[in-house]
Structure 1
Amino acid sequence: MKKVLCIAAVLCSAIYVKAQHVVAASTIDKKVDALIAKMTLDEKIGQMTQLTLDEVLQTSGGAAIHPLQIDTVKLKEALLKYHVGSILNVSGGANTREVWYGLISKIQEFAAKDRLKIPVIYGIDAMHGQNYTVGATFFPQEIGMAATFNPELARREGEITAYETRASYIPWNFSPVLDLGKNALWPHIYETFGEDPYLVKTMGAAVIKGYQGDDIGNKYKVASCLKHYLGYSFPLDGKDRTPAWIPDRYIREYFLPSFAEAVKSGAKSVMINSSEINGIPVHASKYLLTDVLRGELKFTGIAVTDWQDIKYLHDRHHIAATQKEAVMIAINAGIDMSMVPYDYSFCQYLKELVNEGKVPMTRINESVKRILRVKYELGIFEHPVGNPDDYPKFGSAEFEAVSLKAATESITLLKNTNNILPLKKDAKVLVTGPAANTMRSLDGGWSYTWQGDFSDKFAADKNTVLKAIIQKIGKENVDYQPGTTFADAVDIDATIAAAKKADVIVLCLGEPSYAENPGNINDLSLPAIQTQLATELAKTGKPIVLIMGEGRPRIITEAEGKSAATIMAYLSGNEGGNALADILFGDANPSGRLPFTYPRYPNALVNYYRKNIENGNSDDAMGYNPLYEFGYGLSYTTFAYSNLHISKPALSDGETLTISVDVKNTGSRAGKESVLLYISELYASVTPDTKRLRGFDKIELQPNESRTVTFKITPTDISFINDLSKRVTEAGEFKIQIGNQTQSFNYLTSIVPSRTGKL
Structure 2
Amino acid sequence: MLNRHTASAAHQLRNGHRLGISAVLALAMVAGCSADEEKTSMPETSAQTQGKPEMTADAESTATAAVNNGEKAVDPAIWGTIKMPVAKDPAMEQRIDEIIAAMTLEQKVGQVIQADISAVTPEDVKKYYLGSVLNGGNSAPNGDLHGPAQDWIDLADAFWEASMAEDGPQIPIIWGTDAVHGHTNIPGATVFPHNIGLGATGDADLLERIGAATAMEIRVTGLDWTFAPTLAAARDDRWGRAYESYSEEPELIAKLGAALVHGIQGVPGTDNFLDSSKVVATSKHFLGDGGTDGGKDQGETISTEEELRDIHGAGYYSTLNAGVQSVMASFSSWGDQKMHGRKDLLTDVLKEQWDFDGLVVGDWNGHGQIKGCTATDCPDSINAGLDMYMAPDSWKGLYETTLAHAQSGEIPMARLDDAVRRILRVKMRANLFEQPKPSEREYTGKFEYLGGDEHTEIAREAVRKSAVLIKNNGNVLPLSPGANVLVAGDGADNLSKLSGGWTISWQGEGISKKDFPQAETLLDGIRRNVENAGGTLMVDRNGETSSTPDVAVVVFGEDPYAEFRGDIGTLDYKPGDDRDVELLRKLKADGVPVVAVFLSGRPLWMNPELNASDAFVAAWLPGTQAGALADVLFTDAAGEVQHDFTGRLSFSWPKRADQYRLNKGDENYDPLFPLGYGLTYGDESTLDELHEDAVATEANTLTLFDNGAVIGGWTLKVMDDQGAEEWSLGAVSSPSKALTVKPADLGQQENALRATWDGSAPAELIMTRTPTDFSRETNAQFALAIDYLVETPASGDVHLTFACGEDCGAPFNVSSMFSQSNYGGVQSVMLPLKCVADAGVDMTKIDTFALKTTGELEIVLAKIAVVPAVGGATCTNFPLVK
TM-score, normalised with respect to structure 1: 0.73
SS at match of 2:89: helix
1:481 aligned partner: 540
Correspondence 1:247 to 2:294: no
For residues 263 and 375 of structure 2, the distance between their equivalents in structure 1, rounded to whole angstroms, comes to: 39
> How far apart are 1:221 and its partner, in Å?
0.5
> How far apart are 1:536 and its partner, in Å?
2.6
> How far apart are 1:630 and its partner, in Å?
1.0
> How far apart are 1:452 and its partner, in Å?
1.3
Gaps of 5+ in 2: 1-33, 39-84, 636-640, 685-882
1:200 aligned partner: 253
Gap change, CA 1:499 and 1:556, over 3 Å in 2: farther
> How far apart are 1:582 and its partner, in Å?
3.8
> How far apart are 1:159 and its partner, in Å?
0.6
Q: Please give the per-residue CA displacement for 1:311-354, whole angstroms capped at 9, x wherever unaligned.
A: 233xxxxx106667x51211111111011111311111111112
Contact 2:113 2:388 (C-alpha < 8 Å) held by counterparts: yes
For residues 594 and 185 of structure 1, the distance between their equivalents in structure 2, rounded to whole angstroms, comes to: 17
1:619 aligned partner: none
Correspondence 1:371 to 2:423: yes
Gap change, CA 1:358 and 1:608, over 3 Å in 2: closer
1:411 aligned partner: 467
1:614 aligned partner: 668
> How far apart are 1:203 and its partner, in Å?
0.2
Task: Give the partner amino acid of 2:509.
Answer: D
> How far apart are 1:26 and its partner, in Å?
2.1
SS at match of 1:498: coil
Contact 2:466 2:647 (C-alpha < 8 Å) held by counterparts: yes
1:161 aligned partner: 214
Contact 1:95 1:132 (C-alpha < 8 Å) held by counterparts: no
Correspondence 1:223 to 2:280: yes
Correspondence 1:632 to 2:685: no
Give the structure with the larger helix fraction. Answer: 1
Task: Give the partner amino acid of 1:281.
Answer: K
Correspondence 1:88 to 2:145: no
> How far apart are 1:208 and its partner, in Å?
0.3
Gap change, CA 1:408 and 1:55, over 3 Å in 2: same
The match for 1:520 among 544, 567, 573 is: 567
After alignment, is 572-581 or 431-440 more displaced?
572-581
1:64 aligned partner: none
Correspondence 1:258 to 2:310: no
Correspondence 1:291 to 2:355: no
Contact 1:177 1:228 (C-alpha < 8 Å) held by counterparts: yes
SS at match of 2:486: strand
1:462 aligned partner: 519
Task: Give the partner amino acid of 1:28.
Answer: M
2:103 aligned partner: 39
After alignment, is 521-530 or 269-278 more displaced?
521-530
Gaps of 5+ in 1: 1-10, 16-20, 57-73, 314-318, 484-494, 616-623, 640-759
1:152 aligned partner: 205
Contact 2:326 2:358 (C-alpha < 8 Å) held by counterparts: yes
SS at match of 1:362: helix
Q: Please give the per-residue CA displacement for 1:140-175, whole angstroms capped at 9, x wherever unaligned.
A: 111111111110000000011111111111110000
The match for 2:634 among 584, 589, 600 is: 584
> How far apart are 1:526 and its partner, in Å?
1.4
For residues 370 and 216 of structure 1, the distance between their equivalents in structure 2, rounded to whole angstroms, comes to: 18
For residues 683 and 538 of structure 2, the distance between their equivalents in structure 1, rounded to whole angstroms, comes to: 33
Correspondence 1:431 to 2:477: no
1:380 aligned partner: 432
1:605 aligned partner: 660
For residues 507 and 482 of structure 2, the distance between their equivalents in structure 1, rounded to whole angstroms, comes to: 38
SS at match of 2:587: helix
For residues 295 and 482 of structure 1, the distance between their equivalents in structure 2, rounded to whole angstroms, comes to: 57
1:553 aligned partner: 603
Q: Please give the per-residue CA displacement for 1:281-337, whole angstroms capped at 9, x wherever unaligned.
A: 111111111112112222111111110112233xxxxx106667x512111111110
1:702 aligned partner: none
For residues 392 and 466 of structure 1, the distance between their equivalents in structure 2, rounded to whole angstroms, comes to: 26
Alignment size in residue pairs: 578
Gap change, CA 1:44 and 1:590, over 3 Å in 2: same
For residues 541 and 282 of structure 1, the distance between their equivalents in structure 2, rounded to whole angstroms, comes to: 56
For residues 354 and 561 of structure 1, the distance between their equivalents in structure 2, rounded to whole angstroms, comes to: 64
> How far apart are 1:546 and its partner, in Å?
0.9
> How far apart are 1:394 and its partner, in Å?
3.3
SS at match of 2:622: coil
For residues 355 and 310 of structure 1, the distance between their equivalents in structure 2, rounded to whole angstroms, comes to: 20
For residues 563 and 103 of structure 2, the distance between their equivalents in structure 1, rounded to whole angstroms, comes to: 38
The match for 1:279 among 326, 329, 336 is: 336
SS at match of 1:505: strand
After alignment, is 551-560 or 470-479 more displaced?
470-479
> How far apart are 1:459 and its partner, in Å?
2.6
The match for 1:443 among 485, 491, 499 is: 499
Contact 2:600 2:621 (C-alpha < 8 Å) held by counterparts: yes
1:349 aligned partner: 401
SS at match of 1:54: coil
> How far apart are 1:181 and its partner, in Å?
1.9
2:557 aligned partner: 510
Gap change, CA 1:460 and 1:98, over 3 Å in 2: closer
Q: Please give the per-residue CA displacement for 1:410-434, whole angstroms capped at 9, x wherever unaligned.
A: 1111111122111111211111112
1:539 aligned partner: 589
The match for 1:334 among 385, 394, 397 is: 385
Q: Please give the per-residue CA displacement for 1:187-209, whole angstroms capped at 9, x wherever unaligned.
A: 11111111100000000000000
Gap change, CA 1:161 and 1:48, over 3 Å in 2: same
For residues 584 and 86 of structure 2, the distance between their equivalents in structure 1, rounded to whole angstroms, comes to: 61
Gap change, CA 1:442 and 1:321, over 3 Å in 2: closer
SS at match of 1:566: strand
1:178 aligned partner: 231
For residues 55 and 540 of structure 1, the distance between their equivalents in structure 2, rounded to whole angstroms, comes to: 57
Gap change, CA 1:310 and 1:443, over 3 Å in 2: same
1:595 aligned partner: 650
2:119 aligned partner: 55
Contact 1:307 1:339 (C-alpha < 8 Å) held by counterparts: yes
Q: Please give the per-residue CA displacement for 1:536-564, whole angstroms capped at 9, x wherever unaligned.
A: 33222221111111111122111101211
For residues 510 and 222 of structure 2, the distance between their equivalents in structure 1, rounded to whole angstroms, comes to: 23
Contact 2:190 2:455 (C-alpha < 8 Å) held by counterparts: yes
> How far apart are 1:96 and its partner, in Å?
2.8
Note the 1:559-570 alignment, pairs <5 A. Answer: 559-570=609-620
SS at match of 2:291: coil
For residues 467 and 321 of structure 1, the distance between their equivalents in structure 2, rounded to whole angstroms, comes to: 51
Contact 1:435 1:511 (C-alpha < 8 Å) held by counterparts: no
TM-score, normalised with respect to structure 2: 0.63
> How far apart are 1:478 and its partner, in Å?
1.5
Contact 1:246 1:278 (C-alpha < 8 Å) held by counterparts: no
Contact 1:208 1:267 (C-alpha < 8 Å) held by counterparts: yes
> How far apart are 1:532 and its partner, in Å?
2.5
Gap change, CA 1:390 and 1:479, over 3 Å in 2: closer
Contact 2:197 2:622 (C-alpha < 8 Å) held by counterparts: yes
For residues 678 and 632 of structure 2, the distance between their equivalents in structure 1, rounded to whole angstroms, comes to: 17
RMSD (Å) for aligned C-alpha atoms: 2.3
For residues 470 and 22 of structure 1, the distance between their equivalents in structure 2, rounded to whole angstroms, comes to: 50
1:708 aligned partner: none
Task: Give the partner amino acid of 2:643.
Answer: A
SS at match of 1:126: coil
User: Could you tell me the percent identity over the aligned residues?
Assistant: 31
Q: Please give the per-residue CA displacement for 1:344-377, whole angstroms capped at 9, x wherever unaligned.
A: 1111111111222211101101100000011111
After alignment, is 260-269 or 197-206 more displaced?
260-269
